[in-house]
Structure 1
Amino acid sequence: MTQPLLWPVTPLQAGLVALAQLREPGEVDPYVGQSLLRIDGPADPAALERAVETLTEAHPNLRAGFGMDLDVDPVQFVADDVPVDLRVHPLAPGEDPRALAAAELAEPFDLGDPPLVRWLLLHDERPDEPSWLVLTAHHAVLDGWSMPLLVAALAEHHRAVLAGAPAPAAAADYSRFLAWVGAQPAAAADAHWAGRFGGLELTGTAPWLGRDLADATGESAPRRTSLRVDGDTVARLREQAAAVGTTPAAVARAAWGLTLDHLAGIAPGRGAAVFATTVSGRPEEVPDADVMIGLFADAVLTEVPATPGAPLADVVRAHHDDWLASLPYQHTGLRGCYRALGREELATSLFSFEAPREDVAHPLGGSSTFTLAATVDRSHYPWPSPWSPVRRASRGSSTSSTTPRGSPPRPPTGPRACSPGCSARSPTTRTGHSPRSTRSTTPSGSGSARSPRRPPTSRAARRRPCSRTPTPRPSPPTRAASRSSSGPGA
């Protein structure tokens, strides 16, 4: 057995490790996501297993686990001997694939026991019925942007297996991104976030946060509400956004921020509610970041201040300009924002704007295809919740709002009082530290190697033995080329 490769963690990964430490046994992990892939045509379980193996070999970060080093800093370790976690379930007539997928989603991960990706093939041998591949993964190793990339890569590996061809190499090296994050100076980002959000104050509990959302067990029950907007409205929104020199994403963020202001009773000119906004985290400075598979996403603090009497278009444009100014510093995530402000837990809602997913049928070889049919993505953000909204003090005056009668008290500290942007070990957990490595091909930096503290194995008993041992692949050199790739728009 070779020594695991030690990599640094991204700010969000550090927060997810902290949340995992706070989670009580049996508590649902909101950062376990799932994708449901439809297989049209015959499914070949043996070929699929081999394709998953070669895919995992090509992307070392899919073999990553997480723990603490001797300095009690979060670290990820990548081992060569991580078995593929793929199981086959013969799908009987009348069985609901989505119900089986939901049961799989409820199974937690142990971050110290990789792989943090599970595959379940729901195999339907009837010729006119599709089979289903359920991909369940922890957010610490995969983000939403990566899912279509992973599906396309798996289909490519599957075709290579059937053709007896060499396994495709990864399109890009994830360690380049980790090296880039570790090389960014913290001072400039701290100055930006402190200047942008300095002087924040907690208001009293707003009336709209006073509702009782507890279920029969007393726990906060996640609710999902959907609203479909017709195509004509979307087209007009795009036209109007372009006409005022902004984007639909900026319009949507502004709408959310102004809605929070209104519901929290914050008048224009008296501050703004602060919320978290998801960012892709794929910098243009890292070559091929847009085609890398892994966790890049994070979230940053956002607000939409409005001047009394200002036209809505001016408010949106001002917010768009503020957003563009924050782009060079968004890699710090919420941890960076909170570090700069010396405070934590300032956001109680999370806003995410995503491009629509295209249903692409990826050929697997022969007559079979993969199609990404559905995804499940969750978070722990307690909106609405008993937490007070946050706004910025205006002209140095104290801000407050009336707490309605019967409002619930502030929640106790615990798993729901910590976001991925905070740390369970704030005094000793650092970001931006030099990565420690056991090999010269680690993302960046050098230093003595420290073995991570790994929790006891929790899933070994239920793993199905892997018929093939993955071939160890050395990590590629990490010096990035000078070429720049296109990144996501604002």
Structure 2
Amino acid sequence: MTGTRDVAGSLTVVLALGGPARQEPSTLDLCGPARQEPSTLDLCGPFDPSFLDAALARIAADRPQLREARPRIVRRGPGRYVLELAAPYPVGVLADLLTAACAPGVSGHQAAMQPPEPLALTPLQCELLSDQASSPQHHVGQLLWRWHGPLDTARFRTAWQSVFCHETVLRAAFVWDPGPRLALHDRAHPDAVRHPHGTLTRQALMEQERARGFDLGRPGLLRVALLDGQPRQPGSALPYTDVVLTYHRSVLDSWSAGLLVREFYRRYLAGDRPRGGERRPDLRDYRRWLAAQDPGAARDFWARPGGIPGAGLPRAGSGAATGRIGMGSTRIRLTLAETERLVHWAAHWGVTEYSVLQTVWALLLYRAGTADRGRPGPVGFNVAVSGRAIPMEGVAYLPGPFDNPLPMTLHVDPDGTVPALLRAARDQGLGMSAYEWVSAGQIRRWLGHEAAVRPDTQVSFEHRQSHLEGLEPELAAHGLLVTDIEPAGGGNGCAISVAARYDSGGGSSS
């Protein structure tokens, strides 16, 4: 297997996994006798051994067991070298570190300080990437809002660049060695494109941005597209620009993207120039927290009697081809009065609106899928949790991939009562809230293959985020009025998803 990386013509690294050992007369052996089947890196271009030392040190910092591993260096001529390493060594990460360190204009000292830092993935990230090849658009999320008033494109890009400099997650990319890992780069640049009015519709822009996908090997897995509205006419309202923010769910969730939008507004208003300084805690701190957790209690919770996933959607038989593919959606909105009535009704029974949504969905699944509706039976579906209900300081304001689908099983008894099912949903939700950091894949492995059924439906309740709180007066002073951000588009791999949230008018929609 080979792969090639070329950075601005400075250094080309060709990776070969499991190639035969080479025996060359002009060899500097740094690790003893050559192994029989090492992995190799062919280097073409200027090469400084200090770059290699910096890259090896960075890998060893993350993987202490590789601290003594050193490559065998074979010189083949001017600007031609071969590095031979033991087969299990993460040569893909080493290739990324070397190409970044040897970029044009980077001195040896800078390279020692600035190569991408490897970071192990979370279980949730591993599962998202495993589905990437079959359904890439399911892992692309979007936010949409409207910007009323003047928009300075240069200032807009500069503000986002300042956010990129501050946020480690926006400088993250993926490498495969051969398994996936994160590479935290020293710098990345925002992708912000402005489209003139009339070039395409807002819906077409959203679909275009979603279809573009992302190159997961390049940092900056978030981009912004602008679409100008109609030019302002005399006596008309403020001109507006539609803003579409697109991100990959392997590094961000909807709440995190909203945090970044709020940070962007502050920097736009301040006229920030890109500067140093990183947010802490960041993904590295979360990964260390995650590695310190004992999964024993979580395993016991899902392995308890009755915890095995129940039936989901019934499987339809084959029928005539419709010729239709893709995703569809529908929206139902409750008025403010209806929403208040729902809140009071749920509180009367000691549950939340989310528990009500889970209970209703369980009843619908039972009605649709149970062959003998006269008997009690389990139904299973995913419930989305924030992933932030963990005892880690600062996690509420940490951008990252935390939004987590976890399996819920409710036993529906046709002779039971709705309040009893509401309480069962509430109690199970409270129980799993202690383990929001666990992934669905881990749970399936704990339960074994016989019980490892993937729920094919999901329910979620998105809490409203006040990303404009306190900023309206400053925006108005600049002649600006912006609408609340709205989630727009994207799937999650389930056949049916039900998402409820509060809107800016105080009502709720799903």
TM-score, length of structure 2 as denominator length:
0.66
User: Residues 381 and 18 of structure 1: is their aligned pair in 2 closer, same or farther, counting only changes over 3 Å?
Assistant: closer
Write the distance in 1 (CA, Å) between the matches of 2:347 and 2:140.
36
Which of 385, 388, 412 aligns to 1:306? It is 412
Alignment of 1:182 onto 2:291: yes
2:346 is matched with 241
Could you tell me which residue of structure 2 aligns to residue 60 of structure 1?
168
- Equivalent of 1:350 in 443, 458, 469: 458
Gap change, CA 1:241 and 1:287, over 3 Å in 2:
same
| Native 8 Å contact 2:159 2:274 kept in 1 | no
Distance 2:496 2:270 in 1: 48
Closer, same or farther: CA 298–251 of 1 in aligned 2, 3 Å = same
Out of 99, 116, 132, the residue aligned to residue 4 of structure 1 is 116
> How much does 1:308 deviate?
4.5
Cα deviation code 1:111-134 (max 9, x no counterpart): 222221112233469453212332
- Structure 1 counterpart of 2:188, which letter? V
Q: Pick from 374, 378, 384: which aligns with 2:490?
A: 378
Q: 1:268 to 1:244 in 2, by over 3 A?
A: farther
Sort the Cα spacing of 1:312 and 1:77 in 2 relative to 1 into closer, same or farther, 3 A.
same
Q: Give the equivalent residue in structure 1 for 2:428.
A: 322
Q: Which of residues 118, 129, 135 is equivalent to 2:223?
A: 118
Pair 298,383 (structure 1): closer, same or farther in 2 beyond 3 Å: same
> What's the counterpart of residue 272 of structure 1?
378
Q: Which residue of 1 aligns with 2:207?
A: 102
Q: 1:312 to 1:268 in 2, by over 3 A?
A: farther
- Say what the alpha-carbon RMSD is for the aligned residues: 3.0
Instruction: Give secondary structure in 1 for the equivalent of 2:205.
Output: helix
Q: Tell me which residue corresponds to 1:469.
A: none
Contact 1:41 1:369 (8 Å CA) reproduced: yes
- Cα distance change, pair 77–168 in 1 and its aligned pair in 2 (3 A): closer
The reply to whether residue 137 of structure 1 matches residue 259 of structure 2 is no
Q: Cα 1:120–1:325, aligned 2, differ >3 Å: closer, same or farther?
A: same
**Correspondences of 1:313-462 after superposition (within 5 Å):** 313-343=419-449, 344-356=452-464, 360=468, 362=472, 363-364=474-475, 366-383=478-495
Deviation for aligned residue 1:215:
5.0
- Give the direction of change, closer, same or farther, for the CA distance of 1:213–1:366 in structure 2 (3 Å limit): farther
| Alpha carbons of structure 1 residues 236 and 157: separation in structure 2 relative to 1, 3 Å | same
CA–CA distance in structure 2, aligned partners of residues 288 and 202 of structure 1: 38
Q: What CA distance in whole angstroms lies between the structure 1 residues aligned with 2:319 and 2:343? A: 37
Partner of 1:78: 184
Matched, 1:193 2:289: no
Q: Give the 3 Å change call, closer, same or farther, for CA 57–290 of structure 1 in structure 2.
A: same
Alignment-mate amino acid for residue 255 of structure 2: W
> In the TM superposition, what is the alpha-carbon distance from 1:295 to its structure 2 partner?
1.3
Give the partner amino acid of 2:460: S
Distance in 1 separating the partners of 2:243 and 2:467 = 15
Displacement after TM superposition at 1:248 (Å): 1.0
Q: Is the 8 A contact 2:309 2:379 kept in 1?
A: no
Rounded Cα–Cα distance in structure 1 between residues aligned with 2:327 and 2:201 = 23
Contact 1:276–1:351 under 8 Å retained in 2: yes
1:94 Cα deviation (Å)? 7.5
- In structure 2, C-alpha distance between the alignment counterparts of 1:171 and 1:160, rounded to whole Å: 22
Structure with max Cα Rg: 2
Cα distance change, pair 165–338 in 1 and its aligned pair in 2 (3 A): closer
- What letter matches 2:122 in structure 1? T
The answer (yes or no) to whether the contact 2:157–2:192 under 8 Å persists in 1 is yes
CA shift at 1:339, angstroms?
1.7
Paired residue for 2:154, among 46, 55, 64? 46
Which residue in 1 is equivalent to 2:109? Answer: none
User: 1:122 corresponds to which letter in structure 2?
Assistant: L
**Aligned pair in 2 of structure 1 residues 290, 210: CA closer, same or farther (>3 Å)?**
farther
2:269 match: 159
**Deviation (angstroms), 1:136:** 1.0
Deviates more, 1:363-372 or 1:276-285: 363-372
Output the amino acid matched with 1:51: A
Change beyond 3 A, Cα 1:145–1:228 = same
1:363-385 deviations in Å (ceiling 9; x for gaps):
45722344345332422434269
Residue pair 2:386, 2:436 contacting (<8 A) in 1 also: no
| CA deviations over 1:300-329 (Å, ceiling 9, x no partner) | 111221344222112211221122112212
Q: Does 1:17 align with 2:129?
A: yes
How far, CA to CA, are the matches of 2:461 and 2:455 in structure 1?
Answer: 17
Contact 2:165 2:277 in 1 (8 A): no
Length, aligned pairs only: 373
- The 8 Å contact of residues 279 and 300 in structure 1, kept in 2 or not, is answered as yes
- Return the letter of the residue paired with 1:350: Q
Query: Residues 45 and 214 of structure 1: is their aligned pair in 2 closer, same or farther, counting only changes over 3 Å?
Result: farther
In structure 1, the gaps of 5 or more residues are 386-490
Question: 2:336 is matched by which residue type in structure 1?
Answer: G
Counterpart code for 2:429: W
Rate the CA distance shift 1:308–1:4 in 2: closer, same or farther, 3 A.
same
Counterpart code for 1:319: A
Alpha carbons 1:190, 1:340 under 8 Å: kept:
yes
Give the Cα–Cα distance (whole angstroms) in 2 for the partners of residues 214 and 196 of structure 1.
42
Letter in 1 for 2:432: S
- Distance of 2:242 and 2:413 partners within structure 1: 52
Question: Contact conserved, 1:257 with 1:304, CA < 8 A, in 2?
Answer: yes
* CA distance in 2: counterparts of 1:105 and 1:384, whole angstroms: 19
Change (3 A) 1:261 1:337: same
When residues 69 and 277 of structure 1 are mapped into structure 2, their CA distance, relative to the original with a 3 A threshold, is same
Q: Percent identity?
A: 26
Say yes or no: does 1:69 pair with 2:177. yes
Q: TM-score scaled by structure 1? A: 0.69
